[in-house]
Structure 1
Amino acid sequence: MADHEAGEPRRRAGAGDGAGDADGGTTGDAGTATGGRAPHPRTGAASPRRGTVLALVCAAQFMVILDVSVVNVALPSMQAALGFDAVGLQWVVGAYAIAFAGLLLLGGRLADLYGRRRVFLVGLAVFSLAGLAGGLANAPGTLIAMRALQGLGAAILAPATLTILTTTFAEGEGRTHALATWTAVSSAGGAAGNLVGGVLTQTLSWRWTLLINAPIGLVTGVLAVRLLPADRLRTAARRLDVPGAVLATAGVTGLVYGVTQAEKQGWTGLPTLFGLAGGVLALAGLCWVEATADDPLIPRGLLRLRTVRVGNAVMLLAGACFLPMWYFLSLAMQDVLGYGPLATGLGFLPHTLAGVVAARLAPYAMRALGARTLITLAAVLAAGGFLWQSRLGADSSYVAGLLGPALVMSTGMGLLITPITNTVTSGVPSAAAGAASGLMNTARQVGGAFGLAALVSVASTTASPIAGYERAFLTIAGLCATVAVLACALPAGGRGREGGLGGG
């Protein structure tokens, strides 16, 4: 049987599956969980009610991903208005990224324990209010603190969006198409950040790159109350693994802090070594605590699923390829092609459109090829796009220097993320869906942080910026090739059957 996701949606028995779940919904009873009609018995196709839920979680995910990059173009204006020095300015971006990556595991588990709608609304409120306060900030420290608080809200909100999606749509074509939409929106958010930031900064003010979250968050919150099913109380109380949560947060935060410091301090600088060493020690402590905890932060059986183990390794490498792409392309457009801020934002439109179209086509490609084969071929396609992009020069035309590579690499990216996400979340019981979502998002963000720091170091050793960008894109092409090879270790059927999720 081909390793695609068509076929009978499957109910998987596991810890907490179908009994006393935080919101009463399971992977298999998506229709009743959302108040919509039951899914088609073969495809799991969405009812109109589930379609609006999908639109809601995609809107929230778009906000989260948009805010990773929306302030980039506004940084010079922020510096002039609030008097940032060069060191402080980088923390407008860094505070959000570190808090987001460091708290994702905790955010994912909260949805499992305290209810998906409740956690979704809390994350949305923290994210939106922090954006409002950041947009009104009159001092550098206030803005940095609000960006960190936004990162906390994002870490709660992002896993909740994926958890709601995977527990609303039964495994099968319905879920695959929903994940394709979620992936397309995520890709669009990453690419649109530079464009939206440039337009808002140039036409209104840098403050609106943050203030815009408040009205969008308000509308999304009202719709969430109306559309998402109320959380049901559990029949048996489960407590948050506080020591595990603290160690996981400290470990991931330490690692991300260390690699972000490597850009300016070098890999042997004290801040870099302190962050990396502290992160490794905290994660070692996490392994010890999780082995004995009654209700671990990461359910022990989760890592027994080969789809989860290998799929997250693939996602880690994919994050190291694609998240740094926006950084280097933004600089290359300005340094090599001479684009201004707004032109640079517009220059990302081909990447956005190609990624969205490819993500929407991914379910059909999965049906024809299977998830594992599609991941491999998409990674090879993306590698070819980055090889082409490495030939960018000052005399390059727009078509050969930017448009052509954009269409190839972004098509590969759009085709890649959906089957990885579908593979990682397949076979995971409803009660562990939040933990699985948090783990996958953490893998992607940590991979992006490590990839960016390593690629900046690679690029900085060259004699000229053009040579640095060439080396960075060649390295990313090599990483994409590694993704293709690693994907061969995924199960042929894309489903992990090596045991349930016992032990929490």
Structure 2
Amino acid sequence: MTLSQSPRGAGLALLLLCAANFLDAMDVSTIGVALPAIQAELGMPATSLQWAVSAYVLGYGGFLLLGGRVADVFGHRRVFLWSLAVFAAASIAGGFVDSGPTLIAARLIKGIAAAFTAPAALALLLSVFGEGNARAKALGVFASTGATGFVLGMVLGGAATIISWRATLVMGAPVAILALFAAPYVLPRDVALGGKRPSFDWAGALTITPGLLLFVFGITNAAAEGWNAVPTWGSLLAAVVLIGLFLVVESKHKDPMVPLGIFRKAKLSHANLLAALFQGVYVGFQFIATLYYQDELGWSAFVTGFCFAFGGVCVMFLAPRFATVAQNRGTTGLMTLGVALQASSYIFWVLAAGHVNPVLLVALSQIPLGVGYAMTYPSVQVAALSDVEEDKSGLASGLLFAAFQIGGGIVLAAASAVFSAAPSMGYDAYTAGVSFVAILSVLVVLFAALGPRGSRAAVPAAYQAAE
């Protein structure tokens, strides 16, 4: 028996799903500030240390499409519960690692678990909230918790590191365990599919999953070792081959893992590309600004984290409201305004860094950045999910989350390359890096403005009747 049919039950379901979403996003960034302490205790070389962060993104980005399709085929609640249990177990195990390889393995397993949890959670949210405004508000809250988890991960990681760096790995476990106990009572049961369950596309899974893994690995490795490194270009070449094979397999399979026709949905395709671009630009800026605040200004990791928390507060409170606006008035205009505000923040940072008080620099750049992110993030989700069938919601969610992860990796690698090469060309590394981000953000604004037009985001009948 579940409670999600009632308004109170729907609220509890939203709380639980948002908690899981917060944990998934938080773990992307929470360990970053603990790296010096990890290196001191485990003796990890610098070349291996970055994989304590990257392993999570590798598992998360590489398994998202598989996670979304598995949830659609085998049941959203079932997959959510199993993957959340694995996430909790890997979190606890992380507190007992005694070497670099075991730490990286724990982080990789957590990332893979998050890749199954995230699309299942979003699909469950769509099942619980069927009506337009209710769904928009729920999506806004869900989006704001994900964005807030990502932004506040550094702050929470810095606070946990005061106790022990191991606390950064373990601190999500209690929340995950509580969610596991509550989930059977508040989440809707998986609806039995009429007729025979769709056959699982193993050929598709065995080509796209390693293809995405190698692609994410290659992009991540490029940020660490450069584009000329054999592991970088070798992985990317293998990824291209596997993804090409995947497209051939999907075009011939009677029940494909990813029906290629889904990419003909204009809103979904535009939203995915925009998600990759605007998230990538933000991650690139965050990387360079973090180095500037710590290395140039001498701020601690904890203080640096609070700089980004300022924008996170904007996201936390404004994203639910903007989701409702996107649902009622359309998404393209709101996304365009959101990325324009973000672009103005990056441009201001380039012009003002070193010329104004650092506290003023943070405040005046984070306000438009936070408001713009609060506009864009939920609008992208509303647009991406507004014209997909309920039995494809997990897949569509997986595509969207994969776009966020892969876009972040690509732009981060490019921004890192500009940042590293700038001094040898006579430019300031920080100015050059953020200038690259600012120029790219202007192009993102133009791309957003070219999106599909509509008076409001359509709500499929399947969702209207979900309750």
Deviations 1:219-241 (A, max 9, x none): 01111121112224433122221
Q: Report how far residue 316 of structure 1 moved.
A: 1.5
TM-score by length of 2: 0.93
**Runs of 5+ in structure 2 lacking a partner?**
463-467
TM-score by length of 1: 0.86
> Which shifted more, 64-73 or 352-361?
352-361
Aligned to 2:434: 473
Identity of aligned residues (%): 32
Aligned to 2:183: 224
Taking the TM superposition and a 5 Å limit, the aligned residue runs for 1:88-237 are: 88-170=48-130, 172-202=132-162, 204-234=163-193, 235-237=195-197
Aligned to 2:465: none
Alignment RMSD: 2.2
Partner-residue secondary structure (3-state), 2:388: coil
Partner-residue secondary structure (3-state), 1:396: coil
Q: Report how far residue 466 of structure 1 moved.
A: 8.9
Q: Distance in 1 between matches of 2:169 and 2:26?
A: 11
Partner-residue secondary structure (3-state), 1:390: helix
Deviations 1:441-475 (A, max 9, x none): 11111000001001100111122999222222222
1:430 to 369, 380, 390: 390
Q: Distance in 1 between matches of 2:294 and 2:356?
A: 13
1:252 to 204, 212, 222: 212
Q: Distance in 2 between matches of 1:132 and 1:392?
A: 44
Q: Report how far residue 161 of structure 1 moved.
A: 1.3
Aligned to 2:233: 273
> Which shifted more, 479-488 or 81-90?
479-488
Establish whether residue 304 from structure 1 lines up as the match of residue 272 from structure 2.
no
Give the 3 Å change call, closer, same or farther, for CA 489–391 of structure 1 in structure 2: closer
Aligned to 1:18: none
Aligned to 2:244: 284
Q: Report how far residue 54 of structure 1 moved.
A: 0.9
**Runs of 5+ in structure 1 lacking a partner?**
1-31, 38-46
Partner-residue secondary structure (3-state), 2:33: coil
Q: Report how far residue 365 of structure 1 moved.
A: 4.0
Establish whether residue 361 from structure 1 lines up as the match of residue 330 from structure 2.
no
Aligned to 1:36: 5
Amino acid at match of 1:231: D
Partner-residue secondary structure (3-state), 1:352: helix
Asked if the contact 1:391–1:401 (Cα under 8 Å) also holds between the matched residues in 2, the reply is no
Taking the TM superposition and a 5 Å limit, the aligned residue runs for 1:309-348 are: 309-348=269-308
Asked if the contact 1:358–1:412 (Cα under 8 Å) also holds between the matched residues in 2, the reply is no
Give the 3 Å change call, closer, same or farther, for CA 401–425 of structure 1 in structure 2: same
Q: Distance in 1 between matches of 2:209 and 2:458?
A: 27
Q: Distance in 1 between matches of 2:428 and 2:319?
A: 32
Partner-residue secondary structure (3-state), 2:50: helix
Q: Distance in 1 between matches of 2:403 and 2:458?
A: 18
Asked if the contact 1:109–1:434 (Cα under 8 Å) also holds between the matched residues in 2, the reply is yes
Q: Distance in 2 between matches of 1:134 and 1:200?
A: 14
Aligned to 1:352: 312
What is the aligned length? 457
Give the 3 Å change call, closer, same or farther, for CA 335–148 of structure 1 in structure 2: same
Aligned to 2:224: 264
Amino acid at match of 2:438: A
Q: Report how far residue 394 of structure 1 moved.
A: 4.5
Give the 3 Å change call, closer, same or farther, for CA 264–491 of structure 1 in structure 2: closer
2:403 to 443, 450, 454: 443
Q: Report how far residue 157 of structure 1 moved.
A: 0.6
Q: Report how far residue 33 of structure 1 moved.
A: 8.9
Q: Report how far residue 329 of structure 1 moved.
A: 2.4
Q: Report how far residue 339 of structure 1 moved.
A: 0.3
Deviations 1:277-330 (A, max 9, x none): 011111101100100112211123322211112221111212211233332222
Higher helix share: 2
Asked if the contact 1:60–1:157 (Cα under 8 Å) also holds between the matched residues in 2, the reply is yes
Q: Report how far residue 484 of structure 1 moved.
A: 2.2
Q: Report how far residue 368 of structure 1 moved.
A: 7.3
Deviations 1:152-198 (A, max 9, x none): 10101111111111222225221111111111111110111111111
Deviations 1:327-383 (A, max 9, x none): 222212102221012212222221111222331331354367531111111111110
Q: Report how far residue 80 of structure 1 moved.
A: 1.2
Amino acid at match of 1:486: F
Deviations 1:20-43 (A, max 9, x none): xxxxxxxxxxxx996424xxxxxx
Aligned to 1:378: 338
Amino acid at match of 1:274: G
Aligned to 1:483: 444
Aligned to 1:13: none
Give the 3 Å change call, closer, same or farther, for CA 487–126 of structure 1 in structure 2: same
Amino acid at match of 1:490: G
Asked if the contact 1:167–1:433 (Cα under 8 Å) also holds between the matched residues in 2, the reply is no
After TM superposition, where is structure 1 displaced by more than 4 Å over at least 4 residues in a row? 32-35, 494-497
